[in-house]
């Protein structure tokens, strides 16, 4: 059996995932961040994207939007602004959110909060990506 470490994924809605894992890849602020067992202590900001979690040789996908990861004592905790396991994502809802955000961005009116619309688009794309790669 491969070496593992404990992963906790938490969002404001509650605990999303807690299990022993072999490897995680996270969307960090400066690119992807990989964590293996016995990783050095670390605190890093997370970006919007898909976290890939390898456990027992299978990969789970979690759509995350912002937050932090803390790694210490062979344990990693993801404190995400939002986090959704791929199997819980409503793909049609995510596609509708993408279309709404795209429409807002293309309207070019001064009433549109561009940063908010861009963030909504990035979140929707992450949810779609995580959902479409279900196994």
pLDDT in tens, 121-133: 899 999 999 988 6
89: Cβ contacts below 8 Å, ≥ 6 apart: 63, 127, 130, 131
Distance CA(1)–CA(65), nearest Å, equals 32
Predicted confidence (pLDDT) per residue in 14-63, tens digit: 999 999 999 999 999 889 999 999 999 999 999 999 999 999 989 999 99
DSSP string, 107-119: H--TTS-HHHHHH
The model carries a pTM of 0.86
In DSSP terms, 108 is beta-bridged to: none
Q: Which domains does the chain have, with CATH numbers?
A: 5-87 (2.60.15.10), 89-132 (1.20.5.440)
68 in the Ramachandran plot: left (φ > 0), alpha (ψ -120 to 50) or beta?
beta
């Amino acid at each position: 059996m491969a070496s593992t470490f404990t992963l906790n994924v938490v969002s404001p809605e509650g605990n999303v995932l807690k299990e022993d894992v072999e490897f995680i890849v996270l969307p960090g602020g400066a690119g992807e961040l990989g964590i293996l067992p016995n990783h050095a202590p670390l605190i890093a900001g997370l970006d919007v994207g898909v976290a890939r979690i390898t456990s027992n040789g299978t990969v789970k996908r979690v759509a995350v939007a912002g937050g932090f990861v803390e790694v210490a004592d062979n344990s990693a905790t993801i404190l995400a602004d939002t986090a959704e396991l791929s199997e819980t994502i409503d793909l049609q809802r995510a596609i509708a959110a993408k279309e709404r955000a795209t429409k807002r961005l293309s309207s070019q009116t001064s009433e549109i909060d561009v940063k908010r619309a861009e963030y909504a688009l990035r979140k929707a794309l992450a949810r779609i990506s995580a959902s479409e790669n279900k196994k």
